[in-house]
Amino acid sequence: MSFGRIVRAVDVLITNRGPASASKDRYGTPVPDVADPVALRGWLEETPGIEVQAGRDTVISNWTLVLPPDAVIDARDTVSVDGVLYRVMTSPTSAPTARGAHHLSVHLQEIAG
């Protein structure tokens, strides 16, 4: 039996991590600046997961988030939806139209633990 993909409208909190600041961690690596979370409305869709075996079965949950074209987000950011934290996996892609960008598609992976 095949089920259609579930797509739902969601309220999103994006935590942007800007360019590295002057401060460094204990290993000397620059620490990124973290801005206040930005609230947006978007569409969240689960995409096929990957099963990994490393001593136990683990399911990695992959998602696509659709945001307005002017959303500020990149691969360094995290996204929170309904209290669940996601890692942005790649730079967002724009869906172009003749009148400009229609939306951004962002590939996410759920952060468990």
Say what the pLDDT of residue 29 is.
79
Give the residue-averaged pLDDT of 81-110: 89
Give the residue-averaged pLDDT of 50-66: 72
Contacts of 86 (CB under 8 A, 6+ apart): 63, 65, 78, 79, 80, 108, 109, 110, 111
Say what the pLDDT of residue 8 is.
73
Name the residue ranges covered by the structural domains of the chain. 7-110
pLDDT digits (tens, 9 = 90+) for 76-85: 888 988 888 8
Give the residue-averaged pLDDT of 79-92: 89
Q: Return the closest-CA partner of residue 60 out of 14, 113, 17, 105.
A: 113
Across 71-75, 99-103, 104-108, the highest mean pLDDT is recorded for: 104-108
Say what the pLDDT of residue 1 is.
36
Going by the DSSP 8-state scheme, the letter that residue 77 receives in this structure is: -
Asked whether 110 and 84 are in contact (CB, 8 A), the reply is yes
Judge: domain 7-110, CATH 3.90.330.10: no
